[in-house]
Amino acid sequence: MINTRTASNIQSDMDWLHRIPKAELHLHLEGAIPLDTLWELIIKYGGDKSVPDQASLKSRLTYSNFPAFIEAWVWKNNFIRAYDDFLFIAEAIAKDLVRQNIIYAEVFFSPSRFTENTPMTTAGIAEAIRAGLNKVSECEIWLVPDLVRDHGPDNASRTLDEIAELKSFGIVGIGAGGSEHLYPPEPFSRVYEKARRLGFKTSIHAGEAAGAESVRGAVEFLRVDRIGHATRAEEDPELLDLLFETGTALELCPLSNIATGSIDDIMNHPVRRYFNKGLDISINTDDPGMFHNSMAEEYALLIHKFDFKRSEIKKLILNAVQSSWRPDKIGPSLIEKFTNNNNWA
Ligand SMILES: [Zn+2]
């Protein structure tokens, strides 16, 4: 039985976590679609027999393992067919970020998953997303195209050439998600080198599905600024030292790791160990439209399962701000915007 004092503390934590300013660095546009927005798209395209009503959508987006998650990811993308859909999704996601008091975000989108199956172009998709984001002013959002490792280095290089012309839509870096086991980082080293020359920051998913070797490959061959997940990096203790020495920022997504089964038990998650070692970690939701998680719930988990203090939560949020890719010329400084916020008390 929950005693009332504990329940009251939990509510107090949730109130605080809701109102403080937050930042999100690892969020996929196509995985962040609010359920009511996705439902509107499904209806727009004639419905789907696997979801007879809106209430069944949440269970359709529940998984017992990583392949089941990927199946659902591909299924859901079938309802994004036109530029207007991207605009519609982007506006809904920006509003959802504002509702959570997330005031800064960097958002992945995966154009090549759509340019191969529809007449849409990378430029058109980026323009539509930016138009949707611009309808909401309270959250500052930058874009990070996902080069999608499953399409190989040549395709990634072509996508990179396209996005090099699209910086005016607020593109600040590149990422690469997809099948870590089948597509390790090393063959992408020239693509990442070229991205750096073009002035982009770099990230890659590693150590989520594949082991520590994928994280080492990302650091040594791609020389990335940030790594998505890296939960399995601790399988190689010397690699943790390397991450510390290089200052590589890690975008952790604890509730995502549970939802996909990539971590079997939340108590095995390395978040506390990484924090205590002084690694540069941030906390993120990854695909909240598919995992039904919020940023406040991510931090609540850290408080209640890993005994994080509020001062440590604030440090995690400021970590995210400091490892953000916001261009320097933009003012006033982002860190001041966060630290001067009145809602920390
Ligand atoms: Zn991700």
pLDDT value at residue 5: 52
2 pLDDT band, cuts 50/70/90, is: very low
Q: For residue 3, what pLDDT is reported?
A: 47
Cα 322 to ligand 1 centroid, rounded to whole Å: 20
- Report helix, strand or coil for 196: helix
Whether the per-residue pLDDT at 4 is higher than 80: the answer is no
Helical H runs in 25-110? 35-44, 57-60, 66-77, 83-99
What would the two tokens of residue 35 be? 């359920």
How far from the centroid of its chain's Cα atoms is residue 70's Cα?
16
> Is 61's pLDDT higher than 80?
yes
Compute the distance from residue 10 Cα to the ligand 1 centre, in Å. 28
State in Å: Cα 229 to ligand 1 middle: 8
Ligand 1 centroid, distance to 345 Cα (angstroms): 32
With a CB cutoff of 8 Å and minimum separation 6, the contacts of 242 are 216, 219, 248
Average pLDDT along the chain: 95
Instruction: Give the separation between CA 128 and CA 187, rounded to whole angstroms.
Output: 31
How do residues 229-270 score in pLDDT, each as one tens digit?
999 999 999 999 999 999 999 999 999 999 988 899 999 999
Q: How far apart are the first and last CA of the chain?
A: 30
Structure tokens that stand for 26 in this block: 């690892």
Grade residue 332 by pLDDT with cuts at 50, 70 and 90: confident
330 pLDDT more than 80: no
Distance (angstroms) between ligand 1 centre and the Cα of 139 equals 20
Across the range 101-121, mean pLDDT stands at 94
Residue 116 token pair? 């191969």
**pLDDT surpasses 50 at 144:** yes
Using one digit for the tens of pLDDT, what is the confidence trace for 262-304? 899 999 999 999 999 999 999 999 999 999 999 999 999 999 9
* pLDDT, tens only, 177-188: 988 889 999 999
Q: Is residue 145 helix, strand or coil?
A: strand
Q: How many Å lie between the centroid of ligand 1 and the Cα of residue 258?
A: 13
pLDDT higher for 37 or 150? 37
Cα separation, 178 vs 210, whole angstroms: 11
- Taking the centre of ligand 1 as the mean of its atom positions, its distance from the CA of residue 7, in whole angstroms, is 32
Residues 174, 195: Cα–Cα separation, whole Å: 8
pLDDT at 64: 82
Give the pLDDT score at 21: 98
What spacing in Å lies between the alpha carbon of 108 and ligand 1's midpoint? Answer: 8
Give the separation between CA 104 and CA 339, rounded to whole angstroms.
13
- 52 has pLDDT over 80: yes
CA–CA separation, 242 and 97 (whole Å): 33
Tokens of 8: 């009251």
Q: Are 107 and 93 in contact (CB under 8 A)?
A: yes
Identify whether the C-beta of residue 251 lies closer than 8 Å to the C-beta of residue 284.
yes
Q: Which residues lie across from 3 on neighbouring strands?
A: none
The per-residue pLDDT for range 153-163, each reduced to its tens digit, is: 999 999 999 99
Is 285 within 8 Å of 100 (Cβ atoms)?
no
What percent of the chain shows pLDDT beyond 90? 88
Please report, for residues 22, 49, 208, 239, 276, the alpha-carbon distance to residue 216 in angstroms, rounded to integers and kept in the order given.
Answer: 29, 44, 13, 7, 21
Q: What is the pLDDT of residue 300?
A: 97
- How many angstroms is it from 9 CA to the middle of ligand 1? 31
What pLDDT, on the 0 to 100 scale, is given for residue 1? Answer: 45
Q: The tokens 């490959």 sit on which residue?
A: 217
Q: How far is the CA of 14 from the centre of ligand 1 (A)?
A: 25
CA distance 225 to 243: 11
pTM of the model: 0.96
CA distance 121 to 166: 12
DSSP type of residue 53: S
Structural domains of the chain sorted by starting position, each given as residue range(s) with its CATH number in brackets: 4-339 (3.20.20.140)
Query: What's the rounded Cα separation, in Å, for the pair 169 and 240?
Result: 35
336 Cα to the center of ligand 1, angstroms: 28
Distance of CA 252 from the midpoint of ligand 1 (Å): 9
pLDDT band at 206 (very low <50, low <70, confident <90, very high): very high
Q: What integer is the mean pLDDT of 299-325?
A: 97
Give dist(CA 81, CA 111) in Å, integer: 12
